[in-house]
Amino acid sequence: MAQLVLATDDTGGPEIFASLQGEGPSAGTPVAFIRLSRCNLACTWCDTAYTWHFEGDNRPHRDDRTFDRKANQVEVSPAKAAAKIAALGQKRLVITGGEPLMQCGPLADMLAILPDIEVEIETNGTTKASSHVDIRVDQYNVSPKLAHSGNPAELALIPERLDFYASDPRAFFKFVIASPEDVEEVLDLHRRHRFKPGHVFLMPEGTDSATLRERETWLAPLCLEHGFRMSDRMHIHLYGDTRGT
């Protein structure tokens, strides 16, 4: 059976923990989290760069820091991961990354051991779940990466993938916004892919409360003007930019 490749927490163990969901339509919900390692994109502002920006990776990141792969990745069997998740006693599981849908095989094996838990997957929207994973998913949080992420559009914004998720009532779209100009890019994508009303969130980019609050002052009226929902990053206000939160 294939192993799951997880990010590590501050102790070097697998990043599996209980917290409140901090973003998107489930914000404030008590959940279990599992954070998988590896990503097929490279956002310059990524706040979990320890899941992909390893030594030897020359893709740019604003912190100009790389991480030791051995210290920041750990392999865990699907059965062991499921046991750790079950022990947290939560009714809902958030699978995040990195890009979790790069590991559909072992994910399906893990979810088969957790038949009674609701499942929420956070994805960048460039790939899709296998049928064995998809049948277990209650909610997709799709976060397509805009131009300011530093990813080429041909890699980050794949039309057939965006159409696929736009047609799925379980999918919500969460766009990271760093400047008012980013909202124009969201509007263009919205026109082309016809995202469902109420399924689009705009979320300020930032890893500290002051930055988030400053950006929310101009983002809130833009959400009101265009009919988008706004997402805060509640976990940043509660815990700071830390692992396992």
Please spell the DSSP secondary structure of 76-139, one letter per residue.
E-HHHHHHHHHHTT-SEEEEESS-GGGGHHHHHHHHHT-TTSEEEEEE-SSS---HHHHTT-SE
Res. 160: pLDDT tops 90: yes
- pTM flag (> 0.95): yes
**pLDDT for the residue 1:** 80
**pLDDT for the residue 230:** 98
Res. 157: pLDDT tops 90: yes
State the chain's mean pLDDT as an integer: 98
Burial class (CB in 10 A: 0-12, 13-18, 19+), 195: buried
Helix or strand run (H / E) with residue 67: none
Question: Per-residue pLDDT tens for 93-127?
Answer: 999 999 999 999 999 999 999 999 999 999 999 99
Domain interval for residue 176: 4-239
Residue 244 inside a domain? The answer is no
Mean pLDDT of 138-167: 98
Residue 245 inside a domain? The answer is no
Question: Per-residue pLDDT tens for 64-100?
Answer: 899 999 999 999 999 999 999 999 999 999 999 999 9
Structure tokens at 91: 């009714």
Count the domains in the chain. Answer: 1
Residue 92 inside a domain? The answer is yes
Nearest residue to 43 via CA among 138, 186, 143, 127: 143
* CATH code, domain carrying 177: 3.20.20.70
Report the alpha-carbon distance of residue 76 to residue 14 in Å, rounded: 8
Residue 43 inside a domain? The answer is yes
